[in-house]
Copies of this chain bind each other. A is one copy, B any other.
C-alpha cells in the first residue's frame, strides 16, 4: 500500500505524502536521537517531516499514540538487533552472551530512544497491544536462551536466572548510556566489555538456591 502510493507521493511538493505515518515515526526518532525525548513535540515532528502541524492527527489519535508507535517500533528493532547478534550461535552460554551484547550495543547506539522505550512516558501505553507485543519479543529471546542454559531448573529458578541476566545487561546498557560506565572503565570495545561483565554472572548458581 505504502509503496504503491509512494510512486506518486514521493514527488516533491506532492499533496499526498504516501506514507506519512511511517515518515512521522522516523521524524520523531530523528528528533529523539538528536535533541532528546523532551524535545519531541507533535509540532516539531510535523515540522521535521515537512508537513503541517495538523497533519499527524490523520494518523495518530494524539501525541501519546505517536510515542507509543515510536517505542513499539524501537522494541521491534531492538529484538532484531539481538537476533542478528546471536544468529547462528547455538551453544546456550554463547548465545546468552551474544544476546547480552546485542542488548547493550542497541541501547548504546540508540540511547535516547532506548530511554524513551523504558521511560515514564511509556507507562501510559504499556497496555497497548502493539507496544506490549513488541516489548515482550526482546525479553522472550533472553528467556529462551536462559532456558536452554538450565534444562533442569524449575520455573522459579529460571525466572530468577532470567531476572539476573536481564538486570545485569539492562544495568550495563543504562549506565553506559548515562556515561557512567565509561567513567569507570574502558568501553571503547563495548561488546568485549559487556562480555566480560556478563561472564561474571553464573546463571547455573541458581540451581543451588
A interface with B by C-beta (< 8 Å): 36-38, 112, 115, 118, 120-121, 126, 156, 159-164, 166-172, 174-175, 178-179, 181, 184-185, 193, 196-197, 199-203, 205-206, 209
Contacts and interface: CB of A to CB of B under 8 A. Distances in A.
A131 to B, nearest CB: 13
A120 B38 contact: yes
A167 B197 contact: yes
Contacts of A181: 163, 167
Nearest to A162: B184
Contacts of A178: 118
A120 B39 CA distance: 12
A143 to B, nearest CB: 9
In the complex, the 6 A-B pairs of residues with the closest C-beta atoms, listed nearest first:
A171-B171, A167-B171, A170-B171, A167-B172, A159-B185, A164-B200
A22 to B, nearest CB: 26
A201 B163 CA distance: 12
A169 B168 CA distance: 7
A166 B161 contact: no
Contact of A171 (B38, B115, B174): B174
A80 to B, nearest CB: 20
A119 B139 CA distance: 23
8 contacts: A38-B121, A156-B185, A160-B196, A163-B184, A163-B185, A168-B201, A170-B171, A200-B202
A196 B209 contact: yes
B175 A167 contact: yes
Contacts of A126: 179
A193 B156 CA distance: 11
